[in-house]
């Protein structure tokens, strides 16, 4: 069983790197079809199932699906260990079934796992909780499975760029880092220290509460019109946090997803009208 899991993770790494839409650390989508974007999932299995059912990739070959922040949250084992890695394995199976349609983007919980740094959620340090569950499940093979898991997370792209000038990433650099942010991370080979504070991948995945000035500056630097992100908790499942940004969450009963027609230009207000509550999906 441990080797089967390691093999799955390694196949997922290969799929991330060989995705036909990937260029460097960006996924570049064509000017055709549609894109379904999920917010943070954090181990919420039922919402993941709803997202996959809505996307229905088998019957929509020109549709793409973006998944983010699957680990840290959801079911626990008998001793309180975090079992969210099991849902990540299911998401990798989906990626392998539709390798050029399913795209992961790296989140801050991913960078914390990659670097084995502390990250809190609901009063619990999640890396410790997940490591404990991994050890109980995989025992002597835990270190090998954990390494393959971190390597998979590190293989994820950083963002999705659409030709209709929509940008999808887990977050954006916070206001104080906008001027110093190094966009070369989207093109060059990443290093582990990029994911450590104050590296630029860390900066990209941890930013919160952006001012409109910062959003406008980043839109100009990235040459896009609109951002769709996750990361910031949304009790009602989403919000429009500026004139050119939507924030999604998919990790609770009010979670949402967003489908974007890639053939059209959009404003944040227009896309807000297309948000779908996950509870409405059977």
- For range 129-138, the mean pLDDT: 97
pTM tops 0.75, yes or no: yes
Q: Please, what sign has the CA dihedral across residues 12, 13, 18, 19?
A: positive
Closest CA to 152 of 225, 209, 93: 93
The per-residue pLDDT of the chain, averaged, comes to 97
Is the pLDDT at 71 greater than 90? The verdict is yes
**1 — pLDDT class (breaks 50, 70, 90):** confident
What are residue 228's DSSP bridge partners?
A: 168, 246
Is the pLDDT at 280 greater than 90? The verdict is yes
Within 10 angstroms of residue 114's Cβ, the number of other Cβ atoms is: 23
Q: What is the torsion angle, in degrees rounded to the nearest 10, for the CA atoms of residue 76, residue 80, residue 84 and residue 89?
A: -90
Q: pLDDT of 158-168, one tens digit each?
A: 999 999 999 99
Q: What integer pLDDT is reported at residue 108 of this predicted model?
A: 98
Full 3-state SS string of 133-183: HHHHHHHHHHHHHHHHHHHHHHCCCCEEEECCCEEEECCCCCHHHCCCCCH
Q: Are 30 and 162 in contact (CB under 8 A)?
A: no
Is the pLDDT at 49 greater than 90? The verdict is yes
Q: What percent of the chain has pLDDT over 70?
A: 100
The span from the CA of 8 to the CA of 149, in Å, is 10
**13 — pLDDT class (breaks 50, 70, 90):** very high
Q: What integer pLDDT is reported at residue 45 of this predicted model?
A: 98
- For range 26-39, the mean pLDDT: 97
Is the pLDDT at 145 greater than 90? The verdict is yes
Q: pLDDT of 74-98, one tens digit each?
A: 999 999 999 999 999 999 999 999 9
**211 — pLDDT class (breaks 50, 70, 90):** very high
**∠205-169-29 over CA atoms, to 5°?**
150
Q: Domain extents for the chain?
A: 2-280
**174 — pLDDT class (breaks 50, 70, 90):** very high
**282 — pLDDT class (breaks 50, 70, 90):** confident
Closest CA to 88 of 155, 161, 33, 188: 155
- For range 232-245, the mean pLDDT: 97
Q: What integer pLDDT is reported at residue 134 of this predicted model?
A: 97
Is the pLDDT at 122 greater than 90? The verdict is no
Fold of 2-280: Purple Acid Phosphatase; chain A, domain 2 (3.60.21)
């Amino acid at each position: 069983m441990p080797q089967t899991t390691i093999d799955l993770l390694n196949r997922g790494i290969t799929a991330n790197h060989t995705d036909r839409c990937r260029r460097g650390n960006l996924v570049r989508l064509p000017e055709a079809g549609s894109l379904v974007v999920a917010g943070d999932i954090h181990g919420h299995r039922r919402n993941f199932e709803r997202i996959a059912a809505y996307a229905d990739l088998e019957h929509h070959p020109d549709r793409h699906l973006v998944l983010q922040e699957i680990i840290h949250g959801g079911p626990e084992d008998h001793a309180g260990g975090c079992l969210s890695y099991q849902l990540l394995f299911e998401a990798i199976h989906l990626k392998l079934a539709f390798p050029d349609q399913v795209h992961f983007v790296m989140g801050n919980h991913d960078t914390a796992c990659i670097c084995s740094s502390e990250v809190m959620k609901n009063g619990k340090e999640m890396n410790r909780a997940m490591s404990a569950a991994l050890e109980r499940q995989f025992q002597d093979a835990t270190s090998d499975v954990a390494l393959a898991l971190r390597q998979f997370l590190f293989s994820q792209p950083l963002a999705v760029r659409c030709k209709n000038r929509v940008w999808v990433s887990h977050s954006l650099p916070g206001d104080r880092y906008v001027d110093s942010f190094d966009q070369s991370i989207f093109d060059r080979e990443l290093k582990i220290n990029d994911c450590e504070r104050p590296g630029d991948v860390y900066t990209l995945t941890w930013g919160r509460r952006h001012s409109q000035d910062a959003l406008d500056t980043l839109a100009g630097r990235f040459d896009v019109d609109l951002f769709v992100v996750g990361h910031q908790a949304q009790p009602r499942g989403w919000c429009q946090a500026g004139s050119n940004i939507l924030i999604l969450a998919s990790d609770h009963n009010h979670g949402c997803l967003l489908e974007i027609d890639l053939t059209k230009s959009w404003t944040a207000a227009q896309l807000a009208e297309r948000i779908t509550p996950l509870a409405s999906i059977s």
